Amino acid sequence: MYVCNAQVVLGPLVVGAIFTYSMLLEGRPRDIPQKLTRDMWPTLLNGWKFWIPAASVNFAVVPLQHQVLYMSTCGVVWNAMLSAASK
């Protein structure tokens, strides 16, 4: 249950911040509303499809001593996916 709550609350904040920050770094602040409108929802859905199963597997299957490594690896994969989506 915690994973779902965290994704519902934190997911939009993190994705919105990443997209906004990316547009600002690219010098395209005027494109922020269009980027958020176009890509926010699909990225959030992909995040939920990724993190909810990943965390469920972590707590159900991964031995305690490997859980941090597993979730860190998932984080690297998700960051690559988010980086690709922010273009």
Give residue 47's identity as a one-letter amino acid code: G
| Number of separate domains in the chain | 1
Domain with 39 in it: 2-85
The more confidently predicted of residues 5 and 43 is 43
DSSP 62: S
pLDDT digit string, tens, across residues 33-55: 999 999 999 999 998 899 889 99
Task: Indicate the pTM of the whole model.
Answer: 0.77
List % helix, strand, coil for the chain (3-state, nearest 5): 90, 0, 10
pLDDT digit string, tens, across residues 9-30: 788 998 899 899 999 999 999 9
Q: For 1-87, list the strands marked E by DSSP.
A: none
